[in-house]
Structure 1
Amino acid sequence: MKSPPARTAAPFLAVAFALGAAGSFPLAAFEEPRTFTASEIVPAYRIAGPHHRVREHAQGDGYLIQFVIDSDYGTYDCVGIGELQRRVEEIRAISTLVAISKGDLFAEGIKKSVETPLEAVKNIVEDPAGAVVQVPKSVGHFFEKIGSGIGNAARQAGDKNEDPAPAETKKEIGKGLGRVIKNAAGFDKAKLECARQLGIDPYTDNARLQEEMDKVTWAFFAGGLPLKIGVSVASSGASRVLGATEFVGMPDDLYQLTPSELDFRDRRTLKDIGLSPERIDALFANPHLTRSLRHRIIVRLTDLSGSGRGDIVDLVAACDSLWRCYFLADVIQLLRIRQQTQPYVSYGVYGRLLVALTRDGVLEIAAPVDYLSWTETVAGFASRDDINAVEKRRLLLRGKASPEAKRQLKASGWELVFFPQ
């Protein structure tokens, strides 16, 4: 998968950090963002594998480090170590699914789904009105009725046309399946189980991974075969297999609830913590949020104490890209961890910057960065009048900072607290 052109954290974080000029700091004191060698900051098992290699040149932007992954399934541009970790695990999952799709069990599943189409379709077609009296009699016919999904196929269940599907339609088994059966009863749960066994995000934006999950899940599900992908993962050549909760930090209910069930629960959760319908709708309307990331953010919000959580939701709802949504999710997670030892009484937003106030009046700001350099924008942040109006200030850093950045921040009155990456 070829990602969009290289993205940088600088514009986003600059707006969040900088209020204007860099105060009284001399221009000569500013650092240029560092260039890194990937192997010096990324574990060897992530640098290279049977199906990928991370390029050695890794450019920092003063906050996050950008990486490029070359793989058998495309090139990935990654903003930050977090995205690099996700993409490497997704490549591993794709390779596992591709291997399964070339195996005898997959072929058996496809064969059974074609030989017993009535059972296969009966297992997946859901008619909300309960009015389905007949089902398509072949997988090819089922694909021909794509329309607006299963609902359209159900409305046309009485169609007597049983002409075989053209050859090109049959080739769309993996590609079109997600569109056709995305609302199917039973299939959703089977796909969630597939993602759980792989240890990946079931709602990932990785199109190739979604396609492979659809294809393999369909073969096992429609063919009436047990889904045992975990066994294949263990023998796929990966240096270490991570469980879903361990790697992606997903709540268990993400794999237990169908998409509609998850949406219903998340809306109810937001309502229970006092958010208005308008705020809830705005969050759900953000097209850049995946369902899983939104759910993780909501779970983290419920764990936060203090007032102002509605302001956090507004900030996420206004976020204009997926990777920036991930960054805000990391900010919330860092505050969530911090409050276990330093309870908060309230939260606020300064521009795009999320802040938290402790019981003893300290303003804390979470910065889940890879490597913080003393750039002009960071200097601008350090000298912001609105933030410096609070006497006690702490910067929570998940990652590293240059010696100059640490020195200048401390000289500007900031206390630094470091968290492991």
Structure 2
Amino acid sequence: MFNRIAVVGMGYVGLTLAAGLARNGFEVYGVDSSPTVRDSLAQGRVHLYEPGLADALTETLGTSLFIHPDLPAGLDAAIICVSTPVRADTRQPDLTNIAAAAAQIAHQCGPDTLVVVRSTVPVGTSRRTVLPALTAAWGRARLVMAPERTIQGQAMRELAELPQIVGGLDDASRNAGVALFGVLARQVVPVSSLEAAELVKLANNCHTDLIYAYGNEIALLAGAHGVDPLEVVRAANHDYPRPDLARPGFVGGSCLSKDPYLFGASAPAHTPLLVAAARQRNEQLPVQVAETVVGRLRQLRGGTAGATLAVLGWAYKGWPPTDDMRGAAIVPMMPVFQRAGLRVLGHDPLVTDDVIRAHGGDPVSLDKAFSEADAVLVLNDHPDYRALPVTTLLPGTGVRLVYDSWRILDEELVRAAGAHYEGIGYRPAGELV
């Protein structure tokens, strides 16, 4: 029987889960080490963008959801939702937060508390890092791995709609985990071990990275032969009963940017060649596009010094909309633009002006982005950009180049306004070589 539950870590994963559990009748304690995050949540302000989350917080805060700096006593379950980054210099997993959460739970709780690892981790982490802290303090433990698999922008809905994977240390742990997540979700899928559940999450995310990398590889090959990659993708997918090819585009976010490295860290006996190659392709793409944009500007203007580039879409994705900058394409692009001497204007429907400034951009309105720019680079496919009024914004400006990464604008309207149009792996026949 579960009543009092703590969720450790109030980021995207933890906060949405805490709100979902609180809505389902549990007494939930959201624990976070950041005073800023705690203060914001305690006042009912959500510090991240997720549709439906603010409403859930309004419904539950102070009645079934409570924000705490530390774990309270008497918990039936403690769920670890802390970040598991990779180190920038080595790309090796940094499990400091996982170890700290396990130590905190071991100190504050007891052997009857069900401990759930929700964070994405290398295979074996629950058993090697979390379990020893618990058994050292208690002698025995109830431990479950139940990976988060929601997508940002749809997390509140997918908490209930997606099957929840549950692997346990033993049968009793797994059964307890199934009972807990069975209240939250329509379907629970038990697996045989902690390791199986850990690998499910990595398998899902690395497969997605592979799919997108292949779409990007096709686009670059198509571009080398003067072929439209979207034509190839559409024709290949048309009524063909095999897995669809992905459209080309940037791959970011906290999960796809790091989980392939967690996958690699899970396989010390061999190198996961496919996953590593896919990650390399997807990481190289933003730099290749940035270099192409700089090269086109140089051709069109005779140089880049003093040129202005408007970048639309700073978040790592546009649909479902998010304000998340982790793994965003603009981050590796900015050094390329800065070396070329470009002034970079920034616009995003959700990313704040302060964040754009912190990444080296000058935040502007859409009107100003077009009126002051020599080139426009569209980096994500937010609905606002899909509906961009090209015929209103572009004519009469000094924009010479529109690089439409997601091919969401009307090419003919862009060209009719006198601008060169280009996309990933695509350049109209007969235009700039």
TM-score in terms of structure 2 length: 0.29
- Where relative contact order (Cα < 8 A, 6+ residues apart) is larger, the structure is 1
What is the TM-score of this pair, normalised by structure 1? 0.29
Structure with more helix by fraction: 1
